[in-house]
Amino acid sequence: MQTLFAKPFRGGIHPTGHKERTEQSQIEKLPTPKRIFLGLQQRNGTLLTPLVKVGDYVGKGQLVAKGASDMAVPLHSPVNGTVVEIRDYVSAHPSGIKIKTLIIKSSEDNSWSENYPPINPDTLSQDEMIQRILDAGIVGLGGAGFPSGVKLRLAKQKGVHTLLINGGECEPYLTCDDRLMQEHASEVVAGIELMVRAIGAKEALVAVEDNKPRSIEALSHAASEIENISVKVVPSLYPMGSERHLIKAVTGKTVAPGELSVALGILVHNVATARAVYHALRFNRPLIERVITVSGGGIEQPKNLVVPIGTPVSDLLTACGGLTMSAQRLVAGGPMMGQVIPSPYTPVDKSIGGLLALNEQEVRDDQSHDCLRCGRCVSACPMGLMPFQMAAHSRVSDYEGAQDYGLNNCLLCGACSYVCPSRIPLVQHFSHARGQINAQRSMAQKSALARKLTDARKQRLDREAAAKQAEKEAKAAARKKKAAEKKAKQAAAKAAAGE
Amino acid sequence: MQMIISVFVFLLLGGSLGCILGWAQKALKVEGDSRVDDLEAMLPGGQCGQCGEAGCRQAAEKMVKGELAPNCCPPGGKALAGSMAAFLGVELSDEGEDIPVRAFINEDECSGCGRCFKACPFDAIVGASRQMHTVMSSVCTGCRLCEKACSQGCLEMVPVLDQINTWQWPKPQVA
Amino acid sequence: MKYEIVSGPHTHGGDSSSLIMYQVVLALVPATLFGIYLFGLSALMVLLTACASALITEWLMLYWRGANRASVMDGSALLTGWLLAMSLPPATPWWVVVLGSAFAIAIGKHAYGGLGNNLFNPAMLARVMLLICFPVELTDWHAVTPIALGEHGIVLNSYWLGVDAMTAATPLSHDASALSPLALMSGQHAGSMGETSSLLILLGGVFLLWRKVINAVIPTALLLGLAVPAFVLHLVSPEHFLSAGTHLFSGAAFLAAFFIATDMVTSPASSKGQWVYGVGCGVLIYLIRTFGNYPEGAAFAVLIMNATTPIIDHYLRPAVFGAKPTFFKEGKA
């Protein structure tokens, strides 16, 4: 084993872990919520078409909405129940913008609607496996929410040789992956085996941070019989969970900026995704629930919960004894990269791995002031950027200048904001700059389209005018001809009469 | 003697330089201002007249003269205003930024007269005559020409609301 | 519970600008106390005058600019005043000190847009201004007159109390062989407060390194930039050039290395840039001391390198993760 205990990459920070709150709490099942809210629009804007109407009965695991492409992840009902409404409802987006949402009232019955017979995944071909993963609606459960099937298919096409499983969980507070690895190590390993086979990889590496000794032990034990799966211990350093940095820490290779990890023949997936793949392929069960850590100083009883997708946050809070008086902010995900939750009725979606209620001491909000150019952000940046320069350009709306300083390479990991003594909201500056650049790009595209359409319209009008003109001329010519003929006839008649 | 030589040299120098300048003025003359053509190429070309000019060409001419601000073109939006301002080397004032709008046809009231369809310079309205029309919101630039053309009062401009994929983080207020 | 749109991260390491400033001030305390012990009440008066006038000027400037006046106590103005006091002769007349402090804050800092926006180190700018405008007052070095322990307790001689004064020259301005590096280190010689005990300054520097207020690049680079040319030239011609030890342990070399060149506002942020900047400071200090007209070049050297900071920060960027490292980044001008 290579020496993984030296600092594996430049930059990075050691935020206070706070993992002790939930490290020991076994994963519990959340009681079936009364109502389930399934958003019909993905974060990237892709719309899903509901396949059920208001009043329809839906069974647990039934496909209820799907999109037009593989990038639109199908949704399955996590409960048995009735569709009561389809209307605009708040989603787990920090803006609080409402999206079209399918609302299901659940019944008492909690059994699977169909009796899914276990299948032998060995009988499936690689493409069948990937198709099933797509159909099961599995997305990366680490937080990005990218459709796993699409990633696997790309990896298969590019001939990926190494599957890297991310058990880093570098975000403070979160322990859901840690508990999952301990309690379901064999399922995780089985899922990894299946994924390795689906993409035709040679080996799989499971990377776990050294602050999770029990997970390391459980996984090593579960994978001890399998030759091509090995567990790698990586040091605890934020952002170890970033794909590029995990690859660097485990293999020593670096992914060039702008490239994907598959260029190196490596595909990264999360441990929870591996378990979901196992359930999808072995039992044909879609992704309808996930493990979520509910923690933070504003939570009475922090827990790890199995939560049906679409459960409102308020149900999770109730199950954890509610909020304390000091709770100040609700966050979906970890405190570093998580996003605020706009309302307690927000439903959880597939990419949310944590629910934090943070109090004032944890949030540490403070007035920001001018940059001192102290360079702490430069030392902390795991991507080797100069965050203070990017923010300075973004502040004066020079978004191209920010890009010149590497805005496109930024992970938005927040290490810079965490260490900034001036409390400059660097991450917000970068999100804003990126939003502006995207908006400008789409506006430019639209202008170009408008121009094209006007030109096309002008051509069409010209063509129409020309056609009209031609028709007119043809008509006139016909009339003339007719008149000439008539004249000729008359002349002929006259001549005949005259004769 | 020396003085005569130097006076002569300078006269010669001045004369020849003057000739070169005179020749250059004729030979290298630029017809019109090429920037007008460049600007016209950048504009959407809808001839919608929202800038207050007769058409895009006229707007480009006025912009080059500095009589019209680069953000005069609502269909072009912020992106176009930015690139035109950069092209002309002028500062863009932030004021007067309108909320973007899109045309919306109340399809129940639409008689299908087809006037809006004919007025749209971008072919963003679809529908045949005597049938209801609808607006392709991804194409509509919010130029308001159809609004004036509609005789039924069933076409109105609605503000474009943020979607979760178009919403942006605002610029931080402090520091 | 508040539901507002705030960007992450939703936690913070807890570091703050004023914490940084006050730690730097704390690191200066041992050397300052030693300076007062050596030079007497006049040194204390210089320190108090400099700090008080810096704070008052800061408040006035904040008031005039309509900025948040609470930030007068953020430690930055105090630090500027303190550093100025450390670099002035202990016998500087009070009105010169007040003028210097006010200049440092008003012109050196607020004229550029306040904390974080200044191009030059305010304290050094003020010191250089004073040196040019008041050369007599700024070169009036007093000999050390420490408190002594007599038979009847502590003896405060008239020099210490500032009633009388003995003038002396700083080691850099006269025959240097008179003082050994050891004596220079302990600080038993004339000079400004911050120039006396290199050991105590080093102690403060180590404290700052330990607290991670500064990193080791600039001090190391600066001391190397000073020591290497000094060592080489001393080898070539010992009678013309002072030894590396004398250069390091006399004058403001350590103060510059740990407290002045490391001023974060006016120094580059990338490690590459910090090396260039630090070595530049060191070499310039050596050149000015050896070939220039002024006996001490730290202030000038730091100011010159301050001017290069924006361009260093623009071109010497850290390597982007995964990209091929290039020393020089061809950036957008």
State pLDDT tens for residues A423-479: 999 999 999 999 989 888 888 888 788 878 888 888 888 898 999 999 999 998 888
pLDDT at C94: 92
What is the C-alpha separation between A150 and A138, in angstroms, rounded?
A: 10
Please tell me chain B's helix, strand, coil percentages from 3-state DSSP, rounded to the nearest 5: 40, 10, 50
- Look up residue C268 and give its amino acid: P
Q: Nearest-CA residue of chain A relative to C11?
A: A363
C14 has a chain A CB within 8 A of its CB: yes
Domains of chain B: 34-88 (1.10.15.40), 101-159 (3.30.70.20)
The answer on whether B140 is annotated among ligand-binding residues is yes
The answer on whether A371 is annotated among ligand-binding residues is yes
* Cβ within 8 Å, pair A429-B171: yes
Q: Nearest 5°: phi and psi at A351? A: -95, 5
For C169, the token pair is 């020259």
Mind giving me the DSSP string for C64-107? HHT--GGGGGSSHHHHHHHHHHHHS-TT--HHHHHHHHHHHHHT
**Minimum mean pLDDT range among A101-115, A225-239, A428-442:** A101-115
pLDDT at B72: 80
CB atoms within 10 A of CB A445: 11
Kindly report the average pLDDT of chain A as a whole number. Answer: 90
pLDDT at C176: 47
Question: Residues C76-96: pLDDT tens digits?
Answer: 999 999 999 998 888 889 999
State CA C288 to chain mean position distance. Answer: 17
Q: Nearest-CA residue of chain A relative to C10?
A: A335
Of the candidates B46, B167, B170, the beta carbon closest to that of A450 is on B46
What is the C-alpha separation between A364 and A238, in angstroms, rounded?
A: 19
Determine the average pLDDT of the residues in A56-66: 91
pLDDT at C154: 57
Residue percentage of chain C with pLDDT more than 90? 47
Determine the average pLDDT of the residues in A393-401: 90
What is the C-alpha separation between B53 and B72, in angstroms, rounded?
A: 10
Instruction: Note the ipTM here.
Output: 0.86
pLDDT at A309: 94
What is the C-alpha separation between A155 and A140, in angstroms, rounded?
A: 14
* Cβ within 8 Å, pair A95-B76: no
* Cβ within 8 Å, pair C321-A10: yes
Burial status of residue C154 (CB atoms within 10 A of its CB: 0-12, 13-18, 19 or more):
exposed
Among candidates C9, C271, C212, which has minimal Cα distance to A15?
C9
Domains of chain A: 19-109+129-295 (3.40.50.11540), 366-489 (1.10.1060)
- Which of B117 and A14 is assigned the larger pLDDT? A14
DSSP three-state, residue B29: coil
Q: 């001023």: which residue's tokens?
A: C263
Interface residues of A toward B, Cβ cutoff 8 Å, are 41, 43-45, 91, 93, 95, 97, 99, 367-371, 394-395, 397, 422, 424-425, 428-429, 431-432, 435-436, 438-441, 443-444, 446-447, 449-451, 453-457
Query: pLDDT (tens digit, 0 to 9) for every residue of chain B, 175 residues total?
Result: 888 999 999 999 999 999 999 998 888 877 667 788 888 888 877 777 778 788 888 888 888 888 888 888 877 777 778 788 888 888 776 655 567 788 888 877 777 787 887 888 778 887 777 676 777 777 787 777 788 888 777 888 888 888 888 888 888 876 4
* Cβ within 8 Å, pair B139-A93: no
Among candidates C54, C47, C98, C95, which has minimal Cα distance to C74?
C54
Rg (chain B; Cα; Å): 26
Q: Rounded to the nearest 10 degrees, what angle do helices C271-291 and C298-315 cross at? A: 150
Question: Residues C267-302: pLDDT tens digits?
Answer: 999 999 999 999 999 999 999 988 887 777 889 999
pLDDT at B114: 79
Name A308's bridge partners: A289
pLDDT at B63: 85
* Cβ within 8 Å, pair B45-A435: no
pLDDT at C226: 93
* Cβ within 8 Å, pair C321-A406: no
Of the candidates A97, A397, A440, the beta carbon closest to that of B79 is on A440
pLDDT at C150: 53
Interface with A, mutate which of B135, B168, B173 (most A CBs under 10 A): B168
pLDDT at A2: 42
Indicate the pairing of strand A327-332 with strand A339-340.
Answer: antiparallel
Q: Is C318 in contact with C270 (CB distance < 8 Å)?
A: yes
Indicate the pairing of strand A162-167 with strand C153-155.
Answer: unpaired
Q: Nearest 5°: phi and psi at A347? A: -80, 150
The answer on whether A320 is annotated among ligand-binding residues is no
Indicate the pairing of strand A203-209 with strand A162-167.
Answer: parallel
- Quote the minimal CA–CA distance from B42 to chain A in Å: 9
The answer on whether A170 is annotated among ligand-binding residues is no
Q: What's the whole-model pTM score?
A: 0.85
What is the C-alpha separation between A224 and A218, in angstroms, rounded?
A: 10
C153 has a chain A CB within 8 A of its CB: no
Rg (chain A; Cα; Å): 30
Determine the average pLDDT of the residues in C95-119: 94
pLDDT at A3: 44
The answer on whether A410 is annotated among ligand-binding residues is yes
pLDDT at C39: 81
What is the C-alpha separation between B73 and B83, in angstroms, rounded?
A: 12
What is the C-alpha separation between A57 and A105, in angstroms, rounded?
A: 10
CB atoms within 10 A of CB C152: 6
Question: Residues A346-374: pLDDT tens digits?
Answer: 999 998 999 999 998 888 888 888 899 99
- Which of C203 and C241 is assigned the larger pLDDT? C203
Q: Indicate if the pLDDT at residue A113 is higher than 80.
A: no
The answer on whether B143 is annotated among ligand-binding residues is yes
Q: How confident is the model at residue A289 (pLDDT cuts 50, 70, 90)?
A: very high
Burial status of residue A256 (CB atoms within 10 A of its CB: 0-12, 13-18, 19 or more):
middle
What is the C-alpha separation between A146 and C332, in angstroms, rounded?
A: 34
For C33, the token pair is 């106390």
* Cβ within 8 Å, pair A370-C116: yes
Q: Nearest-CA residue of chain C relative to A374?
A: C264
Of the candidates A370, A417, A420, the beta carbon closest to that of C117 is on A370
C301's CB contacts (< 8 A; 6+ apart) are: C256, C280, C281, C282, C284, C285, C288
The answer on whether A374 is annotated among ligand-binding residues is yes
Residues 162-191, chain C: which have Cβ within 8 Å of A? none
Q: Is A338 in contact with A171 (CB distance < 8 Å)?
A: yes
Q: Which residues of C touch A363 (CB under 8 A)?
A: 10-12
pLDDT at C46: 92
The answer on whether B110 is annotated among ligand-binding residues is yes
DSSP three-state, residue C119: coil
Question: Residues C113-172: pLDDT tens digits?
Answer: 988 899 999 999 999 999 999 988 887 776 666 665 555 555 556 566 555 555 555 555
What is the C-alpha separation between C121 and C305, in angstroms, rounded?
A: 10
Kindly report the average pLDDT of chain C as a whole number. Answer: 84
* Cβ within 8 Å, pair A372-C117: no
* Cβ within 8 Å, pair B167-A93: yes
Indicate the pairing of strand B101-105 with strand B155-159.
Answer: antiparallel
Q: How confident is the model at residue A488 (pLDDT cuts 50, 70, 90)?
A: confident
Q: Indicate if the pLDDT at residue C190 is higher than 80.
A: no
pLDDT at C174: 47
The strands making up A75-76's β-sheet, listed across from edge to edge, are A49-50, A63-66, A75-76
- Quote the minimal CA–CA distance from A396 to chain C in Å: 15
B49's CB contacts (< 8 A; 6+ apart) are: B55, B145
